[in-house]
Structure 1
Amino acid sequence: MRFLERALRGPNEWWKYLLLPIIAFAIANTIGAIPLSIAVIFGTVNGGTLNPDNAGDLSGLGLDPNLSLFLLMFPFIIGLIGFILILKPFHKRSVKEVINGTQSIRWGRFFYSAAVWAIISGLMLFVDYSMNAEYYELNLNWSLFIPLIFISLLIIPFQTTFEELIFRGYLAQGVARWTRNRWLVALLPAVAFGLLHIFNPEVKEYGFWTVMPQYIIFGLVFGLMAVLDDGIETAMGAHAANNIFISIFITAKASVLQTPALFVNNHVDPVKDLAFMTIGAVLIILVLAKKYKWDFAILNQRVEGEKE
Structure 2
Amino acid sequence: MERPRTAFDAYLDEAGKGRESAWRTVLSLVMIVILLACVLVVLGGLVFAGLIPDPGDDLDTATGMVVTLVIVASLLPATALAVRVVHRRAASGVLGASGELPLPLFGRAALVMAGVILATAALGLALDPRIARGPMKLTTWLLTLPPVALLVLLQVTAEEYLFRGYLVQVLARRFRSPVVWCGLPAAIFTLLHWNDQLGGAMNAAVLVSIGAFALAATTLVVRTGSLAAAIGMHFANNMAALVFVSASTATDALALFRLPPIESPEWTASDAVLLAALQVASMAAVSFLLLHARSPFKMERRDAVDGSPVVPAPER
Could you state the TM-score of these two structures normalised by the residue count of structure 2? 0.79
3-state DSSP of counterpart to 2:98: coil
Distance 1:261 1:306, change over 3 A: closer
* Matching of residue 5 in structure 1 with residue 13 in structure 2: yes
Tell me which amino acid in the other structure corresponds to 2:282: G
* SS of aligned partner of 1:292: coil
1:124 shift after superposition = 1.1
Residues 206 and 270, structure 1, Cα contact 8 Å, conserved in 2: no
Match of 2:167 among 162, 166, 171: 171
Q: Is structure 2 residue 254 aligned with structure 1 residue 260?
A: yes
Whether the aligned pair in 1 keeps the contact of 2:217 and 2:230 (CA below 8 Å) is yes
Say whether the 8 Å CA contact 1:186–1:223 is kept in structure 2: yes
Match of 1:157 among 153, 156, 172: 153
Alpha-carbon spacing, 1:253–1:120, altered in 2? closer, same or farther (3 Å): closer
In angstroms, what is the RMSD of aligned CA positions? 3.0
1:125 aligned onto 2:127: no
Q: Deviations over 1:58-95 (max 9, x none)?
A: 4xxxxxx2x43322212234332222223112223222
Q: CA deviation at 1:178?
A: 1.3
Match of 1:85 in 2: 81
Letter in 1 for 2:217: F
The whole-number CA distance in structure 2 between the counterparts of 1:20 and 1:283 is 35
Match of 1:221 in 2: 216
Task: Tell me the SS of whatever aligns to 1:105.
Answer: coil
1:146–1:209: structure 2 CA closer, same or farther, 3 Å change rule?
same
Please say if 1:204 is aligned against 2:170. no
Amino acid of the residue matched to residue 235 of structure 2? Answer: A
1:232 CA displacement = 1.8
Distance 2:83 2:291 in 1: 31
Change (3 A) 1:260 1:158: closer
| Gap change, CA 1:41 and 1:189, over 3 Å in 2 | same
Matches within 5 A, 1:1-308: 1=6, 2-32=10-40, 34-35=42-43, 38-39=46-47, 50-51=57-58, 56-58=59-61, 65=62, 67-134=63-130, 136-139=131-134, 141-182=137-178, 184-198=180-194, 202-207=195-200, 208-255=203-250, 257-268=251-262, 269-290=271-292, 291-294=298-301, 304-305=311-312, 307=314
> 1:27: Cα distance to partner?
1.9
Q: CA deviation at 1:160?
A: 0.8
CA distance in 2 between partners of 1:37 and 1:248 (Å)? 28
**Whole-angstrom distance in 2 between the partners of 1:8 and 1:77:** 26
Q: Which residue of 2 aligns with 1:61?
A: none
CA contact (8 A) 1:138 1:262 kept: yes
Matches of 1:284 and 1:220, distance apart in 2: 12
Q: CA deviation at 1:57?
A: 1.7
Residue by residue over 1:117-169, the C-alpha shift from the partner in whole angstroms, topping out at 9 and shown as x without a partner, is 112112211221122113x2233621332134223311111111111111111
For 2:265, the equivalent position in structure 1 comes to none
Distance 1:277 1:36 in 2: 36
Which segments of 5 or more consecutive residues in structure 2 lack a partner in the other structure? 1-5, 263-270, 293-297, 304-309
**How many residue pairs are counted as aligned between the two chains?**
285
